[in-house]
Structure formats: structure tokens, C-alpha cells
Amino acid sequence: MIITGRRQTAVDAAAKELGVTGLVADQGSLDAIERLAATIKEKSGKIDILFINAGVTTPTSIEQATEAAFDQIIGINFKGAYFTLSRFIPLLNEGASVIFLSSNTASMNLPDTSIYSSGKAALNAVMKIAAVELAPRKIRVNAISPGPIETEILNKAGYSAEELKGIKAWLMDNIPLRQIGKASDVARLVAHLSGEGSGFITGSEFLMDGGMSL
């Protein structure tokens, strides 16, 4: 198993904890994606599972959006994910499974999420087209669209401690199950979509948000 990420320290720590190989790569850079693909081809040859999950967010209204924020979010969340799939297709074995990490915001209309949400909606469209294009090779392509998950993404979004407290309180009020998801919840669904139990599933988006988008 190989994991990748942009930060050397984070990749090294995760690789050590999981007992896997860690490689540094920036999904926002096509050159980095192509180097990663070449490295994995050299090290492993072919792969059976491709989980594309890099993502960033910077909350902003449409009126106050900047080109820099737009380019960063779309560059990583959509363009980066798109070209990761594109450059890794030659490495996929027949019958492989590809899983995109999308978001429930792709089908919601929350303020200050226009760039992030539109990028994830575009990703879901690519997922369906890729499922059709890769079906002749029995390669399945699906997407998981989580709601709020306990990860570092909110901590990196520039909110103050008080703002984060307010956001989490708002989330708890708007999630019917009254809980925020865990990374392990997503991991279990990724494992399912990677295995034989999902062998007849492709081109599907799986919402897992505690009922938030109902």
C-alpha cells in the first residue's frame, strides 16, 4: 500500500503508523502527479485500488471570492483529482476500483461554499463519465460524499476558536443523527467499495452525512 500527501512530516507519520510506503506529492501540481505515477509504476507496476481524497477549502462568498482562492480550491479538489485519475488509468489493473472523495455540499446550497461545492459537483460528473469509459476494463468508479467529518480541514480553513465552536454547534443542530462523522466511517465505506462485495456497483455517489442533506 502507498499513501501520498503534500506534507513530508504528515506523510511520514501516517506511513509509520500504518506500516505502508509514504510518498510526498502535491495533487495541485500536474508535474507532481505525473512524477508520482511514474514512481508508483516503477515500484509497484499495476494497482488495484485508487482512492483520490486530497482536498482543501477556504470559505468565501461569491462577491468576496478571489482568483487565488478559486485557483487553489479548484486546482486541488477538481483539477488535481481529475488528472490523478487521468494519469493513473494506465496503471489500473482490470477489475480495479477507483473511489473519489466528494462532499455532500455538491448537492447542497450553503452560503460561502460556492467554489468548494461546485468543484465537488464537477468531480461527481467526472466520476460518472469515468465509470462509463472504464467499464470495458471492468474498472469501477464511485464517489463518497461525506458530511462533516472530524479531520483537520476545518482547523486549516482559517477559523478562530470561537468561530469553530459556533460552526460545530450549528452542525450538530443540522445533522439529524446529532453527531459528526469520523474518518473511520469513511474508511469502512472505502474498504467496501474496494472489495468484492461491491463488484456490481459503479458510477454511484454515496452520501454519508448523518441525514444532513435530507
Which CATH number do you get for residue 93? 3.40.50.720
Q: Is residue 199 part of a domain?
A: yes
Q: Is residue 214 part of a domain?
A: no
Question: Do 129 and 26 belong together in one domain?
Answer: no
What's the grid cell of residue 109? 446550497
Question: Do 202 and 99 belong together in one domain?
Answer: yes
Question: Do 37 and 139 belong together in one domain?
Answer: no
pLDDT at residue 159, rounded to an integer: 72
Question: Do 151 and 58 belong together in one domain?
Answer: yes
**SS in 3 state form for the chain?**
CEEEECCHHHHHHHHHHHCCEEEECCCCCHHHHHHHHHHHHHHHCCEEEEEECCCCCCCCCCCCCCHHHHHHHHHHHHHHHHHHHHHHHHHEEEEEEEEEECCHHHHCCCCCCHHHHHHHHHHHHHHHHHHHHHHHHCCEEEEEEECCECCCCCCCCCCCHHHHHHHHHHHHHHCCCCCCECHHHHHHHHHHHHCHHHCCCCCCEEEECCCCCC
Write phi, then psi, for 138 (nearest 5 degrees).
60, 25
Q: What is the count of structural domains for the chain? A: 2
Query: What span, in angstroms and rounded, lies between the C-alpha atoms of 81 and 101?
Result: 9
Question: Do 17 and 36 belong together in one domain?
Answer: yes
Question: Do 63 and 9 belong together in one domain?
Answer: no
Domain span including residue 5: 1-45
Question: Do 10 and 70 belong together in one domain?
Answer: no
Question: Do 122 and 151 belong together in one domain?
Answer: yes
Locate cell 469513511: which residue? 186
Query: What span, in angstroms and rounded, lies between the C-alpha atoms of 74 and 196?
Result: 33
Question: Do 84 and 23 belong together in one domain?
Answer: no
Burial of 129 (0-12, 13-18, 19+ CB in 10 A): exposed
What share of the chain in percent tops pLDDT 70? 97
Q: ∠ at Cα 133 (130, 134), nearest 5°? A: 85
pLDDT at residue 153, rounded to an integer: 66
Q: Is residue 25 part of a domain?
A: yes
Question: Do 90 and 150 belong together in one domain?
Answer: yes
pLDDT at residue 177, rounded to an integer: 94
Mean pLDDT of 62-86: 97
Q: Are 52 and 84 in contact (CB under 8 A)?
A: yes
Longest Cα–Cα distance in the chain: 51
Residues designated as active site: 116
Question: Do 39 and 53 belong together in one domain?
Answer: no
Question: Do 189 and 131 belong together in one domain?
Answer: yes
pLDDT grade for 154, boundaries at 50, 70 and 90:
low
Mean pLDDT of 73-77: 96
Q: Is residue 213 part of a domain?
A: no
| pLDDT over 90 (residue 192) | yes
Mean pLDDT of the chain: 93
Locate cell 482490470: which residue? 94
pLDDT at residue 164, rounded to an integer: 81
